[in-house]
Amino acid sequence: MNKDQAAKRAVKLRSQIDDANYRYYVLDSPTLSDAEYDRLLRELQDLEAQFPELVTPQSPTQRVGAAPLTAFATIKHSKPMTSMGNALSEEELREWDTRVRKGLGTEDDVIYTAELKFDGVSVSLRYENGALVQAGTRGDGYTGEDVTANVRTIRAIPLKLHGRGWPPMVEVRGEVVIPIADFQRLNQEQLRREEKVFANPRNSAAGSLRQLDSRITASRPLSFFPWGLGDASAPVARCYSEAIEQLKAWGFRASQFFRVVQGVDACLKYHADILAQREQLPFEIDGVVYKVDDFAAREKLGFTSRAPRWAVAHKFPAREEHTVVENILASVGRTGVITPVAVLKPVQVSGVTVTHATLHNEDELNRKDVRIGDTVIVRRAGDVIPEVVGVIIERRPPRARRWHMPK
């Protein structure tokens, strides 16, 4: 690929990624799966690495997130809520570890923390004299939405810090999530009320947190897990693992899967252990996160233009993907019950090639309005039969055809 071809491709990739960011972060209506988004971003990063002169300040690779909504008051983060680099393979993780050790000037194994990468909504909580005074979403990393009234309804977040030892001002950052079981109950309730159901727990958490009426937020089963600190008027701890213990003492719930590990091999073992337990976890996760534990070492490593050098997300295989419905067939069971089955353009989901997905029954087919030619979200969790979660209406072609159950 020559420079002119690369420039044209970069323009297209930026447009696709910017649109995906807007729909994901602002509209809460994503049109790209996580895996598809990661592939586009990685392609753009590779292009800009090959042709550095193509990098622009407006490129998604130079940004942190997306613009906040105007329906909420805007807050400015005193310290940016940065995004995080991804490691999509063992090789990429080892390369990250090598860069960390080189940056610290050591050949010894580095002490890392390992934790779940919750698939929720990132927020920053500001406490003054121990009292929660402000809560904001990540937004574009520099400005976010003021969701203080809604966050105050989340019982996992203390309105007043427990114990003592907290500085006059401290910001606690973490993830707002909905447990899988509660998400399923919430969707059942939405169906009972003939209201829109949520595609996944992350969307339900985002939709719940963004309610203008905090009474609706209060009725939703939101939870919170801290994953870091923002600004503080005085040091809280010397390392991240100590900070987590301090946050627990202040009344926050920390993940039981938080670990301190030594070296990249221990990181890989943690990744394998969590991946093996993924289907039994009560929360949706899309990977694990490793961070240099020592805060002084983090200061030495610093940041790139968009992410910390001292942290990385080690992603799991995607459990949701987008693909096209090529046909719909009627499957007749042993008892004579007819089940509509979508014939799909082959797609990799959770490391398995999926070519068919259940549409369950006629009511479900009509409720989701799945048509031949539609681009759909396909989900596969564990050994569960792949299912069509929903339709990406924006991608519906003019010739998409309805399918009717045989009589």
Residue 216: C-alpha distances to residues 149, 212, 213 (Å): 11, 8, 6
Residue 166: C-alpha distances to residues 151, 359, 368 (Å): 20, 52, 49
User: 325: how many CB neighbours lie within 10 A of its CB?
Assistant: 24
Torsion sign across C-alpha atoms 190, 192, 196, 202: positive
On the question of pLDDT at 319 being above 60, the answer is: yes
Contact present, 353 and 344 (Cβ < 8 Å): no
pLDDT higher for 64 or 60? Answer: 60
User: 196: how many CB neighbours lie within 10 A of its CB?
Assistant: 10
pLDDT higher for 253 or 19? Answer: 253
Structure tokens at 34: 């996580």
Residue 391: C-alpha distances to residues 19, 397, 401 (Å): 18, 12, 13
The residues near 41 (Cβ < 8 Å, ≥ 6 apart) are 17, 60, 61
Structure tokens at 345: 């353009």
| Predicted local distance difference test score (pLDDT) of residue 69 | 44
Q: So which residues are the catalytic ones?
A: 117
Please name which of 366, 362, 363, 392 lies closest in space to residue 377, comparing C-alpha atoms: 392
Amino acid code (one letter) for 94: R
Span of 50-59, 231-240, 242-251 with lowest mean pLDDT: 50-59
In sequence order, what DSSP letters do the residues of 16-82 get, joined into one string?
A: HHHHHHIIIIISS---S-HHHHHHHHHHHHHHHHH-GGG--TTSGGG--S-PPPSSS-EEE-SS---
Residue range 61-79: mean pLDDT, rounded: 68
| Predicted local distance difference test score (pLDDT) of residue 68 | 43
pLDDT in tens, 236-258: 999 999 999 999 989 898 999 99
On the question of pLDDT at 66 being above 70, the answer is: no
The C-alpha atoms of residue 159 and residue 251 are separated, in whole angstroms, by: 9
Residue range 19-38: mean pLDDT, rounded: 75
On the question of pLDDT at 291 being above 50, the answer is: yes
The C-alpha atoms of residue 137 and residue 224 are separated, in whole angstroms, by: 13
The C-alpha atoms of residue 220 and residue 17 are separated, in whole angstroms, by: 31
| Pairing, β 86-87 against β 311-315 | parallel
Helices (H), 219-281: 240-249, 264-277
Contact present, 354 and 344 (Cβ < 8 Å): yes
Span of 26-40, 98-112, 176-190, 343-357 with lowest mean pLDDT: 26-40
Residue 145: C-alpha distances to residues 188, 248, 311, 375 (Å): 29, 26, 25, 31
pLDDT higher for 244 or 212? Answer: 244
| pLDDT tier, 40 (very low <50, low <70, confident <90, very high otherwise) | very high
Structural domains in the chain plus CATH codes = 3-62 (1.10.287.610), 74-315 (3.30.470.30), 320-395 (2.40.50.140)
Judge if pTM exceeds 0.85: no
The C-alpha atoms of residue 89 and residue 117 are separated, in whole angstroms, by: 16
| pLDDT tier, 384 (very low <50, low <70, confident <90, very high otherwise) | low
On the question of pLDDT at 28 being above 70, the answer is: no
pLDDT in tens, 119-178: 999 999 999 999 999 999 999 999 999 999 899 888 889 888 988 889 999 999 999 999
| Predicted local distance difference test score (pLDDT) of residue 212 | 86
The C-alpha atoms of residue 255 and residue 114 are separated, in whole angstroms, by: 11
Residue range 284-312: mean pLDDT, rounded: 95
Residue range 299-326: mean pLDDT, rounded: 92
Residue range 308-329: mean pLDDT, rounded: 93
The residues near 270 (Cβ < 8 Å, ≥ 6 apart) are 114, 259, 261, 288
Contact present, 137 and 121 (Cβ < 8 Å): yes
Contact present, 180 and 112 (Cβ < 8 Å): no
